[in-house]
A and B are shown apart, each in its own frame.
Chain A
Amino acid sequence: MHKHDLELIAEYAAGTLEDESEARARVESCHTCAQEFTAQNSILAELTGIGPALMTEYERARLHRDVWTELRSPADTAKPAMSSPWWRSWSFGAAAFVVVAVSLVGVMENFAGGDDSATLNAAEFDSGADGTADTRAEEAAGGGEQGEEALAPDVDNDLTDRGEETPYLLIAREVRQGPPSEAGVLAFDQKQADCLAQSGLIDHEIVDGFETVTDLLVAVPTGTDLEVAPVVFVDPENCTVVHRED
């Protein structure tokens, strides 16, 4: 039986089909369909019959005690942050600065002057991926070319000396570090989800909240450990995969 048929039967069992006639006919005429219908039905019946799990009053009191203790601790100002913690980490701040510098040098080289954004687009990522971005960063740090001198003093030489460093790697490393409570908590964006589906990544989810700014969508296979998840970069303009880690 075709996979699509099984999904039809599953929807029939869940009662979510507007027109059930085709599914009903299949169940009546096909033994495998009937078995699938029975299996899905029995699982659904058991799951939907379970009531909500309630907290005990002890657990509720403990929850409120612990939340307020945490919020009133000196480390917490007990007032929500209005903006994202951009300079939370000096190392990532430095890394982000290098990326911005690379972007600016790229813009200057093209004499375009039209895009003064500090974010990374697909083309800049590609230039980084083939190694030219690092060359640009080193040129910026070393000076000698027009407009680069002003950038040199603040560039972290340690970062620019990492020969294999690419913007893809920078972000992938941030993904691996798994920002504990920052990633993936931004408001849901249906357009981004549709874009992922359009690029064939239906079992991927978008991760967000990085220090390195990018226009690209950053996705990982859903439910996989971030430490080992292959990171995929999607251009939101045309919903195509521009880089995929092995």
Chain B
Amino acid sequence: MTTPPTDIELVGRVVSGDHGAFELVMRQHEDRVFSVCLRITGNRDSALDATQETFLTVFRKAGQFKGDAALGTWIYRIAVNTCYDQLRKAKRRKTDSMPDYLDPVDPSAESAIDSAALRPEMQAALAGLPADFRAAIVLSDIEGMSMTEVAQVLGVPTGTVKSRLFRGRRLLAEHLGSGNHSA
């Protein structure tokens, strides 16, 4: 019986050019990366692009993984930063027209959306949050990561995560009309 490789061993194999090892890393983390990216960007195409960019960065930067944190944490950190980049780029090209070379819409995507859908009001409220609040809420409240893991992914102290969560949820409550706050 063989034991599964440790994070460091797996990344070491990726660095040495083992494509099978990289495929394994992708399979292990792609669903959660996509889920995080979808909640942050609010758009399946953008989320898929961000997921792709994340794994390209993981592959190219694998040599920089030192094992200080779990491989997943490192990957989600890259994913969140990639999503921030996507949001910045999207802001810049807001007025651009839709390119005509996009892949056709996946007809099964609608049912996938339904199975984990945010109601439109919540989606709009989430999209209206500052990106750092949104990321904290997505990682903690939706993805269920621990406070420590969220802090590592976002690169901030846990106190800052708590503060962002608290303030983010307040903003959501206010946006959704369920809050009656005096700040």
Point out residues on A near B: beta carbons under 8 Å. 1, 6-7, 10-11, 14, 16, 32, 35-36, 38-40, 42-44, 46-48, 50-60, 62-64, 66-67, 70-71, 78-84, 178, 180-181, 183-190, 193-194, 196-197, 202-203, 205-206, 222-223, 225-227
Q: Which residue of A lies closest to B84 (CB)?
A: A223
The minimal Cβ–Cβ distance linking B151 to chain A, given in whole angstroms, is 7
Among A38, A189, A197, A223, chain B packs the most CB atoms within 10 A around the CB of A223
Q: Which residue of B lies closest to A185 (CB)?
A: B78
Q: Verify if B163 is at the interface (C-beta below 8 Å from A).
A: yes
Chain A residue numbers with a CB within 8 Å of B39 are: 53
CA A189 – CA B73 in complex, angstroms? 12
Contacting A at CB under 8 A, from B143-177, are: 143-144, 147, 151-157, 159-160, 162-163, 165-166, 169-170, 172-173, 176
Chain A residue numbers with a CB within 8 Å of B91 are: 225
Q: Which residue of A lies closest to B19 (CB)?
A: A78
Chain A residue numbers with a CB within 8 Å of B153 are: 188
Q: How large is the interface on B (under 10, 10 to 19, 20 to 34, 35 or more residues)?
A: 35 or more
Chain B residue numbers with a CB within 8 Å of A58 are: 106, 108-109
Chain B residue numbers with a CB within 8 Å of A39 are: 169-170, 173, 178-181
Chain B residue numbers with a CB within 8 Å of A67 are: 26, 52, 55-56, 59
B132 near A53 with CB under 8 A, answer no
Residue from B51, B151, B157 in contact with A63 in the complex, judged by beta carbons closer than 8 Å: B51
The minimal Cβ–Cβ distance linking A176 to chain B, given in whole angstroms, is 12
Chain A residue numbers with a CB within 8 Å of B154 are: 205, 222
Number of A-B contacts (CB under 8 A): 205
Among A11, A56, A78, chain B packs the most CB atoms within 10 A around the CB of A56
B155 near A193 with CB under 8 A, answer yes
CA A109 – CA B77 in complex, angstroms? 43
Chain A residue numbers with a CB within 8 Å of B180 are: 35, 39
13 new A-B contacts, CB < 8 A, other than A187-B65, A205-B155, are: A10-B165, A10-B170, A39-B170, A39-B179, A52-B32, A57-B108, A60-B30, A80-B15, A80-B17, A84-B64, A181-B56, A187-B68, A203-B132
CA A110 – CA B129 in complex, angstroms? 51
13 pairs from A and B in contact (CB 8 Å cutoff): A43-B169, A55-B31, A56-B109, A67-B26, A67-B56, A79-B17, A180-B85, A185-B77, A186-B64, A188-B69, A202-B159, A203-B132, A226-B88
Query: Beyond A188-B77, A202-B157, A205-B154, is A53–B182 a contact (Cβ under 8 Å)?
Result: no
Q: Which residue of A lies closest to B151 (CB)?
A: A193
CA A54 – CA B36 in complex, angstroms? 10
Q: Which residue of B lies closest to A227 (CB)?
A: B88
Q: Verify if B1 is at the interface (C-beta below 8 Å from A).
A: no
A interface footprint on B112-143 (CB within 8 Å = 1, 0 otherwise): 11011110001000000011110001000111
Query: Beyond A51-B116, A67-B52, is A35–B181 a contact (Cβ under 8 Å)?
Result: yes
Residue from A55, A203, A225 in contact with B30 in the complex, judged by beta carbons closer than 8 Å: A55
Query: Beyond A40-B173, A54-B31, is A203–B160 a contact (Cβ under 8 Å)?
Result: yes
Chain B residue numbers with a CB within 8 Å of A226 are: 88
Chain B residue numbers with a CB within 8 Å of A71 are: 56, 59
A52 near B116 with CB under 8 A, answer yes
